[in-house]
Amino acid sequence: MTEFTTRTKSPFRYDIVGSFLRPEKLKNAREKFNNGEISQDELTEVENHAIIDLIKQEEAVGLKVVTDGEFRRSYWHLDFFWGLQGVKHVKLEHGYFFHDEETRNDSAQVVGKISGENHPFVEHFKFVRDHVTAGIQVKQTIPAPAQFLEELIRPENQASVKNAYASLDELDHDVAAAYHQVIEDLYAAGCRTLQLDDCTWGIAVNNFANLKKKDPNADTSQLKELQERFLKVNNAAIANLPDDLTINTHVCRGNYHSTWAAAGGYGPVADTLLAQENVHAFYLEYDSDRAGGFEPLAKVPEDKYVVLGLVTSKSGELEDRETIIKRIHEAAKFHPLDKLCLSPQCGFASTEEGNILTVEQQWNKIKFVKEIAAEVWNTK
332-377 pLDDT, tens digit per residue, is 999 999 999 999 999 999 999 999 999 999 999 999 999 999 999 9
24-377 has CATH 3.20.20.210 classification: yes
The string of pLDDT tens digits covering residues 6-29 is 789 999 999 999 999 999 999 999
d(C-alpha 273, C-alpha 230), whole Å? 9
Q: Is the pLDDT of residue 312 over 50?
A: yes
Chain centre distance of CA 253: 11
pLDDT value at position 352? 95
29, 35 Cβ separation under 8 angstroms: no
Which of 231-245, 252-266, 341-355 shows the lowest mean pLDDT across its residues? 252-266
Which of 87-96, 118-127, 135-144, 341-350 shows the lowest mean pLDDT across its residues? 87-96
pLDDT value at position 211? 76
Q: Is the pLDDT of residue 1 over 60?
A: no
pLDDT value at position 134? 95
Domain residue spans of the chain: 24-377
Q: Determine what percent of the chain is predicted with pLDDT higher than 90.
A: 86
User: Residue 308 is which amino acid?
Assistant: L
User: Residue 42 is which amino acid?
Assistant: E
Of 237 and 255, which is predicted with more confidence? 237
Which of 196-210, 276-290, 310-324, 330-344 shows the lowest mean pLDDT across its residues? 196-210
The string of pLDDT tens digits covering residues 101-126 is 888 999 999 999 999 999 999 999 99
Q: Is the pLDDT of residue 139 over 50?
A: yes
Residues 6+ away with beta carbon under 8 Å from 110: 86, 87, 152, 157, 160, 161, 163, 164, 165, 171
